[in-house]
Structure 1
Amino acid sequence: MARSQSVTRRTLHYYWLATRKHMGFFLTLVLATIGFHALLSYGNPYVMSLIVDRVSAGAVAAEDLVSVFGPYVLALIAINLVGQACSKLQDYALWKLEIAVSYDLATVCFDALCHQSMSFHSNRFGGTLVSQTTKFMNAYNQLLEALMFPFMPVVISIVMTCAILIPRVPLYVAILMVLLVAYALISYYMYKRILHLNAEAAGAQNQLSGELSDSVANILAVKTYGREEYERGLFDRYNREVVARDSKRMHSSLMRGIVTAAITVVIMSVVTVFIAGGNAWFGISAGTLVMMFTYTNTVTNQFNFINTGLQRLNRALGDASGMTAVLDEPRLVDDVPNAQPLVVTEGAIDFEGIDFFYEDGGVRTQVFDQFELHIKPGERVGLVGVSGAGKTTLTKLLLRLSDIQEGRILVDGQNVACTTQQSLRRQIAYVPQESLLFHRSVAENIAYGRPDATIEEIREAARRANALEFIEKLPQGFDTVTGERGVKLSGGQRQRIAIARAILADCPILVLDEATSALDSESEAAVQDALETLMAGRTAIVVAHRLSTVASLDRIVVLDHGRIVEDGPHDQLIAANGQYANLWNRQTGAFLE
């Protein structure tokens, strides 16, 4: 429960930071809400009580009606005009505030997700993060509306009731306030007891969203292995958990509602007794009795709405808890204070005394231990080795997708840990093993690293990546939308789009992580020619299992369990008859009889 309260405080902190940027709208909303409820809920009954008292005092001649009751009528008209104006001003300020803050909260969530490390994203469902972001934004609107409708009217009702009735019936007000305080304390106590149920219900819903996202994202595997029923079983399990959590929350909220309803009955019983005997026992006037009943009925109705408001509040805070935890999570990879932009003039890369490990499920896996590798400016280096040797991890450390624990990575003598991440990555063209494209046009995907590129430059990059021919055959050519993750294109086509993107980016350092793995032999040969041109004069790191990709490079580094076991050009390593030669012979069929 303590953790739930801590998350609630942090959620309210983030919401307040966003709200105070638009304090004008917030204050307008508060003042308009006060004016609306004070005038329409209390101004009207007050004037009516004056009319009732005047009528009770004796008959009024027809010719005196205007002079006697005219001021009351004008007062009622003025009260309703100003009250309705406040109502519309309230609507305007509420909408403006919700729109402005939703924009800010969406930006905060997007920035938090974008600047988190790849380790963070690797351990979470993308669908869950999207769901948490949406709920976090919607929860603010729910909280704001709960504050302005059930809660502020309660405060206004109590203040107005005390201000008007204390001078007339102080005993009644004292009894009423005691009952209302008891109502509030019991409501708060029960609210605290069920707060954690909302976080649990929201967590179950997020799990369900994540499972749905995972199944849909991998629908091809589901269908090709005939696992629809299995996935449905998983989904049903999470769905039943949502039902169980929501049911538990519902039962607790209903019990709370029953208790508070009983207190409301007691309050209305007290006012009934006072109204029935108020004139005989205390000489209370008819107009005051009307006010007592009207104001007490207003207060109790507002308190009844608190029950609904607290349910909305609980649900909203529960929904927001997931993203609050994400926002509170420290960035595993972050820019140091006063980080400087990386300036690449030559392209030398040095890995000095690198220690790196990762933890998963409490188990630490050491990948590099005092690792050393030095790459000269303009040198083309291939990284090869069996799966798990650390090839891809090394490139990700260079890009600071993860941070090392010890040692330094230098680019032209500049420690990448002391430079801004964006400037580092804008100097490195990266083509991953699995090229994922945006649900945008082919041209936009190619120009992603250089959005200001002309269509002629985009076409030239596509031509050099051996992609122009198939692009021109697409229904809308370069304007064809590739589908989510490029699903409308084949693996080889996606890879060539990614290579065209790297060619167009024209960065001084190039990292290719299995960049030709999805290409057929003919396409690979064509792309190899393009890559040879692209790598000329640039520092290049090429990760490959297909050794034909790296055979022509200046130097090949063979990794085994995070260590360099061989280092040299292709011919030298073949002659050494070591691990590289063994891999080469297996791929070229030299071991076949």
Structure 2
Amino acid sequence: MTRKKLDMDGTTYRAVLGYTFRHWRRQPWRIAAILTFIMLATLADVMTPYFAGRLVEAIASGAVGDGATFDAAVSAFGVLIALGATAVVLRFGAFRNIIRLTLLQMADVVNETFHRVQRFSTDWHANTFAGSTVRKITRGMWSLDLLNDTLLVALFPSMIMLVGTTVLLASFWPVMGLVIGLGSILFIAGTIGITVAYVSPAATLSNAWDTKVGGALADAIGCNAVVKGFGAEDREESRLGGVVAKWQKRTLRTWNRYNLNGVTQDTALLILRATILGTGILLWLSGVANAGDITFVLTSFFVLQGYLQDVGMHFRNLQRSVNEMEELVELDAQPYGVADAPGASPIRIGDGAIAFKNVTFQYGGHETPLYKDFSVSIEPGERVGLVGHSGSGKTTFVKLIQRLHDINGGAIEIDGQNIAAHTQSSLRGQIAIVQQEPILFHRTLADNIAYARPGATRAQVEQAAAQANAHDFIMALPKGYETLVGERGVKLSGGERQRVAIARAFLADSPVLILDEATSSLDSESELLIQQAIERLMTGRTTLVIAHRLSTVRALDRILVFDKGRIIEEGTHDSLIRTDKGIYRRLFERQALELTKGLVA
């Protein structure tokens, strides 16, 4: 369904308001208090014009010094002051409650959306700009503040004012009640129609481009090292300029529509004002209304006009907040992709035996499955290398073990337990992974290492760093373990980042270990230190090594050679190298030849 369709059939409004009301139901007593305070304060405003009329009537009908006139005037004056003071106190109570309501809601929205986003599939994160996601969450969070104010302390009292004034005036002059009631309904209906059908679609589009601006900024700033490396600052500025230009064009159209909508509403109010004033004059000419009554009518209209004039602004704010929350609500409705089964229990991994049993797996959008009736077993403590051309299925193999994707058939078991029946967090918490390009948080080195075990002591952190050959370089830094590593660890060299990632894996002390060619693209000294650390890390653990350089798998217990989702060869390095016309032998000889050419050159 397109965005235009969503706006035109009201689905977006129902989704956003439904999302908001679900959060309201968490604080029912506070909502009830706000509505009660606002309703009573507004009814005080409804009654104010009536007593203003009685005050004018008392003054106009009697002579100065007349006791009855004086008493009537003082009585009306006292009621007016009491109504005003009551409205002030009630509104104060309403705003105290709505502040608390909104802050709690905003905190819930951020926490819950972050909870969902963290659990979305790796495919979703790979296809989504992080900056855009952050923008959707923060913009939606602040729009919730505007939406609450609009619904609770703007539109609700406006409706109370309209109904109350119409009923009050109709009780004295039915024709005046009819004019005000019918005129106000037509005004509100026109305001809603213009807002939903004319302004809202443009606002949705401009918000989408606002999100794209955030994504483009985050993409370029996050990859600034690459930009600098190619001297591409001007190119990125030009690219961003193109996105900003489209955002500017869409936003200009939206703001112009806001402006035209406001002018239309002001014109409609002017016509309504003239109609009400004309009706009041006719009532006076026909002798059914005196000076006090006319004051009552005029004051009622001016108070009501203030509410109605704001109704246009309130509906514009409603439309804007709904549009700005739309993407946040879409995140809330987005399926996880990979979800825990109902009642899933934590998995407990001991020996680390891994078994694929008749597994069938197909990536979304692909016509044929990558794995079909795929079976393989890995013994506890076995060190296994995964080898093959790009796209052969070796990376998918380890992703399925981590349950980053759900399989289409069969089962994956660890220690005889089907991983699909257990929680993802418990599964991944017992699998350590050292990636080819490790990612670090912009936190201290101690925090990054301790991420594997939050309750670890400093002594345990330092011991893990020592096992990973990282302790010495860390202590050489001015702030040691308290050194901030920069976004994604950019302040460290590749070898240093790898050793921090290995230290993290040591501290995790998981029974299953995944290594994604952790020694590639490093200098000889770093490679030696990392290789020594990895040898220590693999001891006593079921280890899977994704190998791009075959020299790194020579000492492993077994090598699995993948091709198009199948294991076509397996064995030790020595046995595979002797296989005539084997893929492993061909890959090894090719890499050896390339290395020889490089040495000769």
The reply to whether TM is greater than 0.5 is yes
Task: Give the superposition deviation at 1:161.
Answer: 0.7
* 1:397 lines up with 2:400 in the alignment: yes
Number of aligned residue pairs: give it. Answer: 590
- Per-residue CA deviation, residues 407-452 of structure 1 (Å, 9 max, x unaligned), is 2111011111111101111111111221111111111110112000
Which residue identity lines up with residue 130 of structure 1 in the other structure?
Answer: V
Task: Give the superposition deviation at 1:158.
Answer: 1.1
1:91 corresponds to: 95
Residues 67-76 or 183-192, more deviating: 67-76
TM-score of the aligned structures, taking structure 2 as reference length = 0.93
Task: Give the superposition deviation at 1:149.
Answer: 4.0
State the distance in 2 between where 1:147 and 1:226 align: 51
2:227 corresponds to: 222
State the distance in 2 between where 1:307 and 1:176 align: 17
Matches within 5 A, 1:52-91: 52-61=56-65, 67-91=71-95
1:48 corresponds to: 52
Which residue identity lines up with residue 217 of structure 1 in the other structure?
Answer: G
State the distance in 2 between where 1:50 and 1:569 align: 103
- Per-residue CA deviation, residues 16-43 of structure 1 (Å, 9 max, x unaligned), is 111211122222222222233332x334
- Per-residue CA deviation, residues 64-86 of structure 1 (Å, 9 max, x unaligned), is 78755443343333223222111
For residue 480 of structure 2, the aligned residue among 469, 477, 482 is 477
Residues 559-568 or 425-434, more deviating: 559-568
State the distance in 2 between where 1:9 and 1:112 align: 21
CA contact (8 A) 2:468 2:530 kept: yes
Which residue identity lines up with residue 124 of structure 2 in the other structure?
Answer: F
State the distance in 2 between where 1:287 and 1:481 align: 75
TM-score of the aligned structures, taking structure 1 as reference length = 0.95
Residues 68-77 or 378-387, more deviating: 68-77
CA contact (8 A) 1:7 1:324 kept: no
The verdict on how the C-alpha distance between 1:330 and 1:30 changes in structure 2, with shifts beyond 3 A counting, is: same
Matches within 5 A, 1:164-179: 164-179=168-183
Task: Give the superposition deviation at 1:62.
Answer: 7.1
* 1:239 lines up with 2:244 in the alignment: yes
CA contact (8 A) 2:356 2:413 kept: yes
State the distance in 2 between where 1:472 and 1:60 align: 93
Matches within 5 A, 1:79-228: 79-194=83-198, 195-228=200-233
2:384 corresponds to: 381
1:548 corresponds to: 551
State the distance in 2 between where 1:396 and 1:45 align: 71
CA contact (8 A) 1:585 1:591 kept: no
Task: Give the superposition deviation at 1:320.
Answer: 1.5
State the distance in 1 between where 2:389 and 2:587 align: 9
State the distance in 2 between where 1:274 and 1:6 align: 41
* 1:31 lines up with 2:36 in the alignment: yes
- Per-residue CA deviation, residues 502-560 of structure 1 (Å, 9 max, x unaligned), is 10000111111122225432232233233222222211111121223222111111222
Residues 491-500 or 559-568, more deviating: 559-568
* 1:487 lines up with 2:490 in the alignment: yes
Residues 320-329 or 466-475, more deviating: 320-329
- Per-residue CA deviation, residues 233-272 of structure 1 (Å, 9 max, x unaligned), is 2212211221222222233333333332222111111222
**Secondary structure of 1:320's match?**
helix
Matches within 5 A, 1:446-461: 446-461=449-464
Matches within 5 A, 1:357-436: 357-359=362-364, 362=365, 364=367, 366-436=369-439
**Secondary structure of 2:357's match?**
strand
State the distance in 2 between where 1:416 and 1:547 align: 30
For residue 255 of structure 2, the aligned residue among 226, 241, 250 is 250
- Per-residue CA deviation, residues 390-412 of structure 1 (Å, 9 max, x unaligned), is 22211111101111222211101
Task: Give the superposition deviation at 1:500.
Answer: 0.5
State the distance in 2 between where 1:167 and 1:282 align: 17
Task: Give the superposition deviation at 1:60.
Answer: 4.4
- Per-residue CA deviation, residues 121-170 of structure 1 (Å, 9 max, x unaligned), is 11111111111111111121111112234312321211221232222121
Residues 492-501 or 139-148, more deviating: 139-148
State the distance in 1 between where 2:439 and 2:25 align: 39
Which residue identity lines up with residue 55 of structure 1 in the other structure?
Answer: I
Task: Give the superposition deviation at 1:50.
Answer: 1.7
* Unmatched segments (≥5 aa) in structure 1: none
Task: Give the superposition deviation at 1:13.
Answer: 1.6
Which residue identity lines up with residue 550 of structure 1 in the other structure?
Answer: V
Residues 275-284 or 543-552, more deviating: 275-284
Residues 505-514 or 262-271, more deviating: 262-271
State the distance in 1 between where 2:88 and 2:154 align: 19
For residue 266 of structure 1, the aligned residue among 240, 253, 271 is 271
Task: Give the superposition deviation at 1:116.
Answer: 0.7
Task: Give the superposition deviation at 1:46.
Answer: 2.7
State the distance in 2 between where 1:461 and 1:279 align: 92
CA contact (8 A) 1:495 1:519 kept: no
1:348 corresponds to: 353
Which residue identity lines up with residue 437 of structure 2 in the other structure?
Answer: E
Task: Give the superposition deviation at 1:11.
Answer: 1.7
Which residue identity lines up with residue 240 of structure 1 in the other structure?
Answer: A
- Per-residue CA deviation, residues 295-340 of structure 1 (Å, 9 max, x unaligned), is 1122222222122222222221111222222222222101111212
Which residue identity lines up with residue 564 of structure 1 in the other structure?
Answer: I
Task: Give the superposition deviation at 1:574.
Answer: 2.0
Which residue identity lines up with residue 429 of structure 1 in the other structure?
Answer: A
Which residue identity lines up with residue 569 of structure 1 in the other structure?
Answer: T
The verdict on how the C-alpha distance between 1:438 and 1:179 changes in structure 2, with shifts beyond 3 A counting, is: same
Residues 197-206 or 321-330, more deviating: 321-330
CA contact (8 A) 1:464 1:527 kept: no
* 1:537 lines up with 2:540 in the alignment: yes
State the distance in 1 between where 2:84 and 2:303 align: 17
For residue 8 of structure 1, the aligned residue among 7, 13, 24 is 13
* 1:317 lines up with 2:322 in the alignment: yes
For residue 583 of structure 2, the aligned residue among 573, 579, 585 is 579
CA contact (8 A) 2:58 2:69 kept: no
State the distance in 2 between where 1:476 and 1:9 align: 54
Task: Give the superposition deviation at 1:454.
Answer: 0.4
Which residue identity lines up with residue 561 of structure 2 in the other structure?
Answer: V
* 1:499 lines up with 2:502 in the alignment: yes
State the distance in 1 between where 2:293 and 2:70 align: 23
The verdict on how the C-alpha distance between 1:591 and 1:497 changes in structure 2, with shifts beyond 3 A counting, is: closer
- Aligned residues with identical type, % of pairs: 33
Task: Give the superposition deviation at 1:342.
Answer: 1.0
Residues 526-535 or 391-400, more deviating: 526-535
The verdict on how the C-alpha distance between 1:64 and 1:273 changes in structure 2, with shifts beyond 3 A counting, is: closer
CA contact (8 A) 2:192 2:315 kept: no
CA RMSD of aligned residues (A): 2.1
CA contact (8 A) 1:383 1:558 kept: yes
For residue 517 of structure 2, the aligned residue among 495, 503, 514 is 514
